[in-house]
Structure 1
Amino acid sequence: MWRAPLCFSALLCGLLSTACDQLLTPNRLGEATLSLGHAQSQQVTQSFTGSWKVEEKPAWLTVAPASGSGNVRFTVTADRTGNTPLAADQATLSGKLALSWTSGTGAAARSGRAVWTVKADQFELRGRIVEPVTVLGQDLQPPQRPAVRADAPAHGVIVKYRAQAPTAAGLTAQTAHGPLAAQRGITRLQAAGVGVRRVQALSERSAALQVSDVAAALSVLRADPAVESAVPNAVLRTQAASERPIRPLARPVEPADQYAPLQWPLRLLGYGAVWRDMEAGAYTRPVTVAVIDSGVRFDHPDLAGRLWGPSEGALDVLPTFLNSAQATDNGDGDGPDRDPTDPRTPGRTLGSHGTHVTGIIAARWGDNGESCAGCSRSGVVGAVSSAAVKVLPIRAIDAQGETDVAQVVTALRYAAGLSVTLDGVTITSPHPAQVINLSLGGEIDAATAQPMCDAVLAASQAGALVVVAAGNGYGSAPYYPAACPAAVAVGSVTLSGASAPRRAVYSSAYPAVQLSAPGGTDPFQEPTTYNGMSWDPQGDGSPERFLDAVISTGWDYVQDRPNYEVESGTSQAAPQVSALAALLLSKGVTTDAPGTLARLVATATDLGAAGRDEAFGFGMINAAAALGAPAVSDTLGLRLQDARGRSFQPPLDAQGSFRAFLGDGSYRAVAGRDLNANGVFGEAGEPGIEKEAVLGPATPVGDLGDLTVQPR
């Protein structure tokens, strides 16, 4: 097949597999192969007399311009990183570039389609994960831990006679029982009723005697004027150090509730270890978490006993109508009162947002009893489990999912224990919250948000940690009240298929973001199922892969009964942080809001670029590390991310070596252990080592060498 000469820039056919000595026919385009090597972009030129247009190209390649007349001339640019597979195992990106063309006129008119193969070499990052050198052999006996024993009794006595004693001169004279002097000692001991089993000469003046009663023997011998000293023949032991103490692994707690296997966010945060730690009974300090939201369904069986009720401080702050132009009321037909139930309204089909958020924190464990036909008896579990944590529901969002700044201000002040006035009545919460959760917000300017920021500050000064969803804006615009200086803005991460989670595509990224937590994937743009679980939502025996989203308590308003709903968003990430903050306070790891935030930050898993960044803040919270939970696993692995938070998982060979073929950019490789069974290696409290590398045309290969991970 004829192949046209094709050139990159001024290097005639230098990066081209076609021959340059073929006949030049500029009135048609033929097949060719373009190879960028490690270059990011190159100009492509070919002589031509007609018109041409790029009809098809690989996703990793941009072509500009994409059409023209006369000579084919365009620049190709490779986006390697955005198209690197999860396993980073493709050394070369390859694809097809198709051009349609026409040339000539009349009888000489021609047209056709040329397909060019385009290739770009990936950059390489390599290294090896190793443990301290271990020598193996079938005939090796590992060091044994010595048994813990009480001090053993002496094996007898050692007697030493004076140099001038009459018996000393004849000490070396032998009798049937040993040295003569010792024989005289035996005579004295036997006369006192002390049996002597064995005599061992030690020197000219001393001997060791095995006796039936050490204390009595010492008394007799020390009373003899010829004896210089008599001491016990004490027991000594070897002083070789035993092997490094190996702390046994605890067994992670796995809830038996029906939908608990679908709750991957709790596993990702290491809660199997936390719940085992909880069995020791230390989580006894009472903590209140205020959930400012759409209200809650008190009649959901999976929340029974976990909420402060209408007579215990629960509150609905909403006026009947949020504004004078509103056509419908807030959903419950009345104004502020003590009943923050998320109401059923005509035609309502969406579930209860506040009930979903509350269940993430505090859903019951175990059998809830039968609530309705076909309803789960156990459902899901809440992160706080049996800890002394209760939720204070405050309704500030109406049945349409809306609220305003004024309602949030009132709710914040009330939640923190500050007095508020509703319909002329001043009230104060009987259960001021140590943690306040707001899974709400809006893309408003700072001036408009100032009243909310003032309320957040007042709540903080009253002692509350104010945790707020960072927003689902798919961009970098701040959301308020999350962006208020005194708030803790929480972004969302989701599973990536690699060890390191990634930022959820919807999660707003801006400087105020402090922490991140699992909020799930976008079910429409990125419906991933990396959690590996299956479910049967239709109940027809046709299971399907479970979406990487968050399942929690909900309400079916069509049938008016409890259910369990799957949602994603920073609304689901924020209560993960609120729950962990409450547990820190309940266990007594921290005692106030500043200390709690500091602990959350110090133990967070740094993701993306090193240090705090706009996407992840200080990192993803780590419940097991924050609460000092016991190790429940001990596996070795690699966590690899670029500066934008994209995750990769190159395979390790039998020697622990890896080769990752990546795009240009900065990379962080963490080799470490996973002690909390969440699949993320080298987190806070886990042995690990981190190295960084920059890859690009100037440094196409990065060698990290050995990454040595110490034992736990």
Structure 2
Amino acid sequence: MKRLPALLTAALLCACTQTPSGPVTAQTVALGTALSAPASQSFGGSWSIEDVPAWLSVSPPSGKGDVSVKVTADRSRGTPVGADQPRLSGQVTVVWKNGSASGRTVWTVTADQYAVTGQVVDGDSVQAGDVEPRGLLRTGGTREARGVIVRYRSAAAQAVALGRAVPVATLGGAAQAVTRDTLSRLDVPGGARRDLGGRAVLLETADVTGALRALRADPNVEYAVPNAVLHPQGLAQPVVPSDEYAGLQWAYKVLGYGAVWRDMEAGGYTRPVTVAVIDTGVRFDHPDLQGALYGPGEGALDVLTSSTNGDGNGPDTDPTDPDTPGRTAGSHGTHVTGIIAARWGKISQYAGCGSCSTSGVVGAVYRAPVRVLPIRVIDTADNATTADVVNAVRYAAGLTVTLGGKTYTNPHPAAVINLSLGGDVSAEEARPLCSAVAEVTGRGALVVAAAGNAYGTEPFYPAACEGAVAVASVTLSGAGAPVHAEYSNRYPQVMLSAPGGVDLSRGATYYNGGNLNGQRYPDVILSTDWDYVKDQPTYYSYAGTSQATPQVSALAALLLSKGVTKGRDDTLARMTATATDLGEAGRDEAFGYGLIDPAAALGNLAVSDALGLRVQGSRGSAYLPALDALGRFTAYLPDGTFNVIGGRDRDGDGIYGGANDPRDERQVTVGPAEPQVAVGALSPGP
């Protein structure tokens, strides 16, 4: 009985000494090539984890007693576009409290990247002795060799070859005999020998290979080479518009429009095409759209019957986006229209606006006879009803509609219908929209619609209707190819992608390299707009699938105008077949068939011939590792599956190995089980 208090005291003393009373100390958590790793430290107080980098996650985020967490790396969120960091490093903060003591301690986390090595080899390089029969010299391409150029070791030997008399003392009789015998066996008559000076002779012969073999065996010959026919190597120069803000319209460069516009200047785009833009209406008085639109009395139509119509007129033939009291937002329809058809060059000065631009921006269709038919369905509250959109789609395709007791028929049925609108209605609720799409598709119209900006996977309608072309959005990555814009919805019906820019509310990027008023210009889409506060034309930038959609519509119109395609089905087939595949191989929910490639679809001339490397991730990421002087590379990548593409950029879009370019690629998968992969030589060819 006397020992019990002593035992209790001993037990209490033991428990106390096992409880660390010091602070949390700094340490390094090295993941190596693992995806995650545990991290722990003995501690007796409470703690929480703060300041975690975006590419790391720590679980649990807080606790009491020993600090014991799991650290996981999402390397794809930390890998730079140059893929040039063999190890990622970041810091997390452990905020701790132990009795009266407290503090903040930094833990460093490192994660090794996975390495892909290889070399991009220029397949167009000239190889010595690259001679083939029938006088053809191959140096990447095929060039005809018209005879042989021979340089002799002495002027006397050259004279013998030209059939001139040479004293035996100058060139011994045996030596003269050798040269004469060589020429006789080649059956090269005197008239087929030309003096090129400097002891050189041109021998005209059809048997280039045989002549080279015999001449190189003649001891009097210094060298013998094919007389290769050379061709001009200059590339057609891309067209660069001079309009004031054209340099900020980066989407056209990404799509290779410099080559398209050069092709357009050569003629061939002669067939008139109508593109219906079903939207908020348009500002017909914008100087940068003059001559690009069908106006009131030419088929333009306002189908709105709602109380928020804005112009107070109900359905009529004037779809002007109205200047209503208190309105501050811009004109969505005017913006969409300008992407397709804004004028090039000098424009008229808007009355009373001395500061307005006199050149503005450019539209994709340039000189092609493509005109926009504005149809107004979105009211001043930015809403459109299913019924109004149904009427607009049917009217655009040339079907008769009745509005407010009056019948309307479009005198210029649209080959392409642009719908930069939509909603997350159910498939059942979308049945009227899809019926209208099916009806006009049956009449040969191509319906192009925005896939939606909801950061999700729910289908948007009418884009998800069967027969519609759902357009997703991409934005710049600085990695030689665009990436999927995070806001752009992913779902199985997505068919094509086009530049839509970055959501500035989630953070700006500045990969386009443009500047405006001394400030970097973000990766957004600039086009025509209207300032309702000042009531004057302006230019503004937006981002979204609304901006990607008219770029697909413009390409469809150009294919029809040039006569590359004849109708809806072959136009769609051409765009999907020539799209640059991004993300997963083949069609996927983020990109559809890929990024449209106008230069490839329209079959344009090359305007560049750069050689480079692009690494494309199956989840939509893109990287641009550097090549050394010999074309070798090491790409430090996150875990995943990648297409490693060595390619040329022929159309000046900055994408190596695009749909219009030669390419050689390998698919690799890297991760903890395969941290290093060598792909060998990539030779994209000429």
Do these two structures clear the TM 0.5 threshold for a shared fold by scoring above it? Answer: yes
Task: Indicate whether 1:467 and 2:458 are aligned.
Answer: no
Distance (whole Å) between structure 1 residues aligned to residue 49 and residue 527 of structure 2? 49
Secondary structure in 2 aligned to 1:354?
A: helix
Structure 2 residue 489 is the aligned partner of structure 1 residue 508: yes
Deviations 1:518-576 (A, max 9, x none): 1111122131111101012xxxxxx1111111111111111211111111111110000
Residue 385 of structure 1 deviates from its aligned partner by 0.8
Q: 2:32 corresponds to which residue?
A: 37
Q: 1:343 to 1:37 in 2, by over 3 A?
A: same
Q: Which residue pairs with 2:118 in the alignment?
A: 127
Secondary structure at 1:637 match in 2: strand
Residue 425 of structure 1 pairs with residue 406 of structure 2: yes
Question: 1:341-490 alignment to 2 at 5 Å?
Answer: 341-371=320-350, 372-490=353-471
Q: Could you tell me which residue of structure 2 aligns to residue 578 of structure 1?
A: 553
Amino acid at match of 2:667: E
Match of 1:169 in 2: none
Rounded to whole Å, the distance in 2 between the matches of 1:670 and 1:244 is 31
| Mapped partners of 2:343, 2:103: distance in 1 | 68
Cα separation, 1, equivalents of 2:204 and 2:66? 95
Instruction: Between 545-554 and 445-454, report the one with greater CA deviation.
Output: 545-554
Q: From 602, 618, 627, give the equivalent of 2:593.
A: 618
2-structure distance, mates of 1:282, 1:239: 42
1:597, 1:209 → 2: CA distance?
62
Aligned residues of 2:145 and 2:229 also touching (Cα < 8 A): no
Q: 1:594 to 1:118 in 2, by over 3 A?
A: same
Cα distance between partner residues in 2 of 1:383 and 1:306: 12
Instruction: Give the letter for the 1:421 counterpart.
Output: T
What is the CA–CA distance in structure 2 between the aligned matches of 1:146 and 1:127, rounded to whole Å?
Answer: 34
Q: Would the aligned equivalents of 2:144 and 2:229 in 1 still touch at CA under 8 Å?
A: no
Q: Which residue of 2 aligns with 1:492?
A: 473
Deviation at 1:114, TM superposition (A): 3.9
Mapping of residues 214-253 of structure 1, within 5 Å: 237-240=205-208, 242=228, 248-253=234-239
- Give the whole-Å Cα distance in 1 for the aligned partners of 2:490 and 2:256: 25
Q: Choose the corresponding residue for 1:602, options 577, 600, 611.
A: 577
Report what 2:279 is aligned to. 293
Map of 1:312 onto structure 2: 298
Larger mean Cα displacement after TM superposition, 522-531 or 673-682:
522-531
Q: For residue 707 of structure 1, what is the aligned residue in structure 2?
A: 682
- Which of residues 63, 69, 86 is equivalent to 1:91? 86
Matched, 1:118 2:109: yes
Cα gap change, 1:702/1:330 in structure 2, threshold over 3 Å: closer, same or farther?
A: same
- How do 1:13-162 residues align onto structure 2 when only pairs under 5 Å count? 26-28=20-22, 29-103=24-98, 110-132=101-123, 134=125
The offset of 1:441, in angstroms, is: 0.5
C-alpha displacement of 1:247: 6.0
Tell me the distance in 2 between the aligned counterparts of 1:209 and 1:343: 86
- Map of 2:605 onto structure 1: 630
Counterpart residue identity of residue 314, structure 1:
A
State how far apart, in whole Å, the 1-side matches of 2:124 and 2:549 are: 43
2:309 aligned with 1:330, yes or no?
A: yes
Q: Residue type matched to 1:581 in 2?
A: A
Question: Closer, same or farther in 2 for the Cα pair 1:51/1:319, shift >3 Å?
Answer: closer
- Structure 1's 111 and 545: CA in aligned 2 closer, same or farther, altered over 3 A? closer
Q: Deviations over 1:293-330 (max 9, x none)?
A: 11111111111111111111111111152xxxxxxx31
Give SS of 1:528's match.
coil
Give the secondary structure class of the aligned counterpart of 1:62: strand
Residue 565 of structure 2, aligned match among 590, 593, 599 = 590
Distance 1:355 1:245, change over 3 A: same
RMSD: 2.6
Whether the 8 Å CA contact 1:320–1:336 is kept in 2: the answer is no
Deviation readout 1:99-142 (Å, 9 max, x if unpaired) = 34444x6xxx65554433322211112221111384699xxx99
- Secondary structure of the corresponding residue to residue 252 of structure 1: coil
- Alpha-carbon shift at residue 680 of structure 1 (Å): 0.5
Structure 1 residues 279 and 530: alpha-carbon distance in aligned structure 2, compared to 1, 3 A threshold: same
In structure 2, runs of 5+ residues without a counterpart are 1-16, 129-136, 148-183, 192-202, 209-225
Instruction: Give how far 1:446 is off.
Output: 0.6
Shift of 1:438: 0.5
- Residue 625 of structure 1 deviates from its aligned partner by 0.4
Q: Secondary structure at the match of 1:601?
A: helix
Distance in structure 2 (CA, Å) of the matches to 1:110 and 1:549: 50
Task: Please identify the structure whose Cα radius of gyration is greater.
Answer: 1
Gaps of 5+ in 1: 1-22, 150-202, 211-234, 322-328, 537-542
For the pair 1:273 / 2:266, whether they are aligned, the reply is no
Indicate how the Cα distance of structure 1 residues 64 and 243 shifts in structure 2: closer, same or farther if over 3 A, else same: farther
What is the aligned counterpart of 1:698 among 646, 655, 673?
A: 673
SS in 1 for 2:262: helix
Q: Does structure 1 conserve the Cα–Cα contact (< 8 Å) formed by 2:116 and 2:634?
A: yes
2:242 aligned with 1:260, yes or no?
A: no
Preserved CA contact (<8 Å) 1:608 1:642:
yes
Aligned equivalents of 1:262, 1:280: Cα separation in 2: 26
Give, in angstroms, the shift of residue 70 of structure 1. 3.0
* Corresponding residue to 1:340 among 309, 313, 319: 319
The verdict on how the C-alpha distance between 1:687 and 1:110 changes in structure 2, with shifts beyond 3 A counting, is: same
CA distance in 1, matches of 2:636, 2:229: 41
What is the CA deviation profile of residues 591-618 of structure 1, one whole-angstrom value per residue up to 9, with x for unaligned ones?
A: 0100000000000011111111111100
Change (3 A) 1:256 1:113: closer
Report if the CA contact (8 A) 1:490-1:574 is conserved. Answer: yes
Aligned partner of residue 239 in structure 2, secondary structure:
coil
The offset of 1:32, in angstroms, is 2.4
Find the residue that maps to 1:524 and give its secondary structure. Answer: helix
Judged with a 3 Å threshold, the aligned counterparts in structure 2 of structure 1 residues 527 and 112 are, in CA distance, closer, same or farther, namely closer
CA distance in structure 2 between the aligned counterparts of 1:24 and 1:93, rounded to whole angstroms: 36
Task: Give, in angstroms, the shift of residue 683 of structure 1.
Answer: 1.0
What is the DSSP-based 3-state SS (H/G/I as helix, E as strand, rest coil) of the residue aligned with 2:582?
coil
Deviation at 1:652, TM superposition (A): 1.6
Where do residues 541-580 of structure 1 align in structure 2 (5 Å cutoff)? 543-580=518-555
Corresponding letter in the other structure for 2:579 = A
Distance 2:570 2:507 in 1: 37
In 2: Cα distance, 1:111 partner to 1:408 partner: 63
Shift in alpha-carbon separation, 1:561–1:98, aligned structure 2, 3 A: closer
Q: Distance in 2 between matches of 1:111 and 1:307?
A: 69
Q: What does residue 689 of structure 1 align with?
A: 664
Distance (Å, rounded) in 1 between the aligned partners of 2:632 and 2:582? 23
* Counterpart amino acid of residue 572 in structure 1: Q
Q: CA deviation at 1:356?
A: 0.8
Distance 1:688 1:243, change over 3 A: farther
Equivalent residue number for residue 222 of structure 1? none
Query: Take 2:354 and 2:101, find their aligned partners in 1: how far apart are those partners?
Result: 72
Aligned to 1:3: none
- Normalised TM-score (structure 1): 0.79
